[in-house]
Amino acid sequence: GFMEQTNNKPDWTRVAEVELVYKAKIKASERPKIATSKDCYDLLLNLWNDSKMELQEEFKVLLLDRSSRVKGIYEASMGGITGTVADPRLILAAALKSLSVGLVLSHNHPSGNLTPSRADEELTMKIREAAKYHDIKVLDHIILSTEGYYSFADEGLL
């Protein structure tokens, strides 16, 4: 009867609130400006933990504004010795949350070999395609080691 139906009715108040938070403590004019892959590498080297560079693979994303200034860095994942898995959804969420218009993907190869793997290329294209729908441009993917770097953009892979 009627009483049974009301008991099964969903409780519309039991909905979690979703907070999108991006806190910028640095004035836009003071943010580092990126013009070349070398700029990206220099900045990333500065932000990377030296002791981990040759130890474990990490994936980080630089979030850029319209004037190619860095709004922030998103640490997408920290992996083991053999690799890391970066989730495109989380990377996109960070880009959207910070209202970024450009992304520079980056990860280190602890081995020092800078050649991108097939997985590196596939992930780059996947993120590039997903970002495109939101008018966000993947400007580069930098693979870095203490010795140097590899730029997808410079190599014409983007």
What confidence tens digit (pLDDT) does each residue in 79-100 have? 765 666 788 999 999 999 999 9
What is the rounded distance in angstroms from the CA atom of residue 95 to the CA atom of residue 39? 20
What confidence tens digit (pLDDT) does each residue in 59-73 have? 999 999 999 999 999
Q: Per DSSP, what are the bridge partners of residue 105? A: 61, 141
Give the residue, 77 or 107, on which the prediction is more confident.
107
> Based on the number of CB atoms within 10 Å of its own CB, is 96 exposed (0-12), middle (13-18) or buried (19 or more)?
middle
* pTM attached to this predicted model: 0.85
Banded pLDDT at 40 (limits 50, 70, 90)? very high
DSSP assigned state of 81: S
